[in-house]
Chain A
Amino acid sequence: MSLLSRPRRTALVAGSIGLALVVTACGSADPTPSAGGDDAGASPECAAFSQYGKHEGKTVSIYSPIRDAEADHFEKAWKPFADCVGMKITYEGTGEFEAQIQVRADGGNPPDIAFFPQPGLLERFAKAGKLKPASEEIKKLTAEGWSEDWAKYATVDGVFYGAPLGASVKSFVWYSPKMFTEKGWAVPKTWDELMTLTNTIADSGVKPWCAGIESGDATGWPATDWIEDLMLREAGPEGYDDWVSHKTPFNDPKVTAAVDKVGAILKNEKFVNGGYGPVKSIASTAFQEGGVPITEGKCALHRQASFYANFWPEGTKVAEDGDVFAFYLPGNDPAKKPVLGAGEFVAAFTDRPEVQAVQAYLASAEFPTARMKLATYVTARKGVDPANAQNPIDKLSMEMLQDPSTIFRFDGSDLMPAAVGAGTFWKGMTDWINGKDTKTVLDYIEASWPKS
């Protein structure tokens, strides 16, 4: 109370606090290091980047769900580019991209560029008018680099927003080539062969399949990939598109059939969960650990995307003659090979020239090539030599993605409205694994589809 009656003293206190803050601020600003070499642009290795212009002293911020080692590789890959054009790229990876990008955009603090792993999310921001349409140059680069399937996924109401970046192939079943040769099992070419093999393995006393769908906030997504792969095979690419765009309701008999076909494996106590226990343990097993029992001989098959190559225990050799490898998840007709995959899209919240330069560089064939030389990476960009791939599975994935005859479909849960694709679909499949029946779960997901 005494302070109130003495305005002068208050002023003094407030003043000195303010002063202290100012001094601290100045102090930390003092030892400013000079930003990068000034004449770096003249060196020969920079000639390759001359087309992107000069952006001295500019900063471009990137926000993305890619973190840790993978993020370091990204930063390393684009460093020569950034140094040569004179800009600084500040990169921030987050484990909560889906929620935080919304918070940052709403809060008036969006990044310059975001890597969207879900076209559905990109669409939401595009419709809200937050994203800037891609420049003509990026459009051109995308048209020459990717198949139409890909470009379509970053186009909202006829406006194109950004080129794809990385990619992954999801339609893989991991197995142990050693185990297969020892037991005399063969890689199946059709769904029926796969089921026969499953039964053979089960009879040999090993639970054939192992799976894990626990993934924090995103628990359930590996199970949705299963459903998508089966929808793509059962209903065909067009049927798949109809399902994803909700022309076919979620509780349609076609979907029920696909889910039950997955259930024949994932909900059969005889077939799962090798190395981890009963069916329900799928829901509590981290997806990163889902396939590990294969290396211990406790499980034979694990359906997971190409990027699972990163999750094998240290020292596991990923090769056709190694410890683990993957085969294409077969459908009913061996002649048709639709591929389920995913990837990121580079969309921008601002359209400054330096931001567009970064976008253009990321859409070029040079960036993925540089990135692939550092560590495992897959891109669907044409003109990137699969021979640069770090391991056989990356090479196989790239060949599949670049093959013009491949029918590519993007991960459906990433295309659906977030309420379903990143919400009830994941949650519903987790409940389904945990014991709920197919009809209840599909009705629940159908009811949650946004009305507008």
Chain B
Amino acid sequence: MDFDFAAELPKLLQLLIGVAAFLVVVAVILVLLDRAPMRRRAWTHATILLLPAILLLAIGLVVPAVRTTLLSFMSGDGKEWVGMSNYAWMFTQPEAVIVLRNTLVWVLLVPLLVTSVGLVYAVLVDRTRFESLAKSLVFLPMAISFVGAGIIWRFVYAYRSEEQDQIGLLNQITVAFGGEPQQWLQEAPLNTLFLIVVMVWIQAGFATVVLSAAIKGIPAEIVEAARLDGASPLQMFFRVTLPSIRSAVIVVLVTQSIGTLKLFDIVRTMTGGQFDTSVIANEMYNQAFRYGETGKGAALAVFLFVLVTPIVIYQIRQRREAVR
């Protein structure tokens, strides 16, 4: 297809208007700042500078959040009020409960596995000869998008019947050891675990790098003192290393928890939520955008928001304490 510039003109015009508007806003703010009197801890200045950000936040975040909350109390087409029935659906319908159960499994397992795999790996390769190579290797999957990873792993789990050549790594291994090829992604509830492996594979590198940096930050004196006191390697790990990098571990746990709650790509690419593997974000998309059940989709979104909130609050508290 050839690119027709004439057809793109309206877009370019819009771009121009956008740029001009941006300049005008910046100019207005600067002029206001210049005119405003500089008194009492720069109150006015702070307000003027914050205003655009607050406005954008309101348009982009607060208004949609309120709208979504309202929609969650409405019917699928957003015309009638239905009270709590969308929430009732979420907690009573067996297939919706399975979605919640899966999300719970994900949130419990992924942060735990990612952190422990990352931590063990970081400790094992710390100050060895191949440290940088080993760390790059485990970090590589981070560069692959979730969708890309999902497609790769779908091939790993691919199934072909016994009489055919296997194209999936896992089934090839199974067959090589004399087993029967399995439909890994179709056997609930194990299939959810197979999906979790993918997430851990991607995220372990992140945990390794963060935790490894934290381990390197432990003051050498402490390590040396512990050695002189005759601490065994295990004691070193649990009494010295782990307490010293506690805040880094928490950062990893928290980011992983939030990331897992929002998880969508892996499930959607690998199973599409079939075979009892759906999670909240995937089901929300299905309900709201594929089935036209905006109410149910919104209810799931609100529930997801409620789940993420305590983690965010916890993280903010942690940060405040760290500052003190």
Binding site for B on A (CB under 8 A): 4, 7, 10-11, 14-15, 18, 21-22, 25, 28-33, 35, 59, 88, 90, 98-99, 102-103, 124, 127-128, 216-217, 219-220, 275-278, 280-281, 283-284, 417-419, 422-423, 427, 430-431, 434, 444, 447, 450-452
Chain B residues with Cβ below 8 Å from A31 are 5
* Contact-residue bracket for chain B: 35 or more
Contact of A430 with B22 in the complex, beta carbons under 8 Å:
no
Q: Do residues A444 and B95 form an inter-chain contact, with CB atoms below 8 A?
A: yes
Nearest residue, chain B, Cβ from A422: B290
Q: A59-B7, A278-B161, A452-B76 are in contact. Are A216 and B293 (CB under 8 A)?
A: no
B272, A217: Cβ atoms closer than 8 Å: yes
Residues of B within 8 A of A (CB): 4-9, 12, 15-16, 19-20, 22-23, 26-27, 30, 33-34, 49, 75-77, 80, 93-95, 159-162, 164, 181, 183, 185-186, 272-275, 285-287, 289-293
Interchain CB contact (< 8 A) of A7 among B34, B77, B285: B34
- Which of these, A33, A98, A124, A418, contacts B5 with CB under 8 Å? A33
Evaluate contact between B289 and A281: CB separation under 8 angstroms.
no
Q: Are A216 and B272 in contact, CB atoms less than 8 angstroms apart?
A: yes
Which 4 A-B residue pairs are closest in the complex by CB-CB distance?
Answer: A277-B161, A419-B291, A99-B289, A423-B291
Residues on A with beta carbons closer than 8 Å to the beta carbon of B292: 102, 124, 417-419
The residue on A at minimum CB distance from B275 is A434
29 contacts between A and B (CB under 8 A): A7-B33, A11-B30, A14-B22, A25-B15, A28-B5, A28-B12, A29-B5, A88-B4, A98-B289, A99-B290, A102-B292, A128-B77, A217-B272, A220-B274, A275-B161, A277-B161, A277-B164, A278-B161, A280-B183, A284-B183, A419-B291, A422-B290, A422-B291, A423-B286, A423-B290, A423-B291, A430-B275, A434-B274, A444-B94
Decide: B76 and A281 in contact? CB cutoff 8 A: no
Which residue on chain B has the smallest CB distance to residue A417? B292
List of B residues within 8 angstroms of A103 by Cβ: 289
- The contact of A281 among B15, B49, B183, by CB within 8 Å, is B183
A99, closest chain B residue (CB): B289
Known: A18-B19, A29-B9, A452-B76. 8 other contacts (CB 8 A): A14-B26, A15-B23, A28-B8, A275-B164, A280-B183, A417-B292, A418-B292, A452-B80
A298 to chain B, nearest CB (A): 9
Q: Are A35 and B161 in contact (CB under 8 A)?
A: no
User: What is the CB-to-nearest-CB distance from B108 to chain A, in angstroms, rounded to a whole number?
Assistant: 25
Task: Report the minimal beta-carbon distance from A300 to chain B, rounded to whole angstroms.
Answer: 17
Known A7-B33, A31-B5, A283-B186; judge A427-B274 contact (CB<8 A). Answer: yes
Q: Give the chain B neighbours of A277 by CB distance below 8 A.
A: 159-162, 164, 181
- Taken together as a complex, chains A and B put the C-alpha atoms of A222 and B260 apart, in Å, by 33
Chain A min CB distance to B107 (Å): 24
CB-defined contacts of B27 to chain A, threshold 8 Å:
11
Contacts of A275 on B, CB cut-off 8 Å?
Answer: 161, 164
Name the residue on A nearest B276 (C-beta). Answer: A431
B4 touching A280, Cβ below 8 Å: no
A276 to B160, CA, bound (A): 7
CA distance A450 to B285 in the complex (A): 17
The docked-state distance in angstroms from the alpha carbon of A283 to that of B30 is 62
User: Which residues of the other chain, B, contact A127 by a CB distance below 8 angstroms?
Assistant: 77
B183 cross-chain contacts in A, Cβ below 8 A: 280-281, 283-284
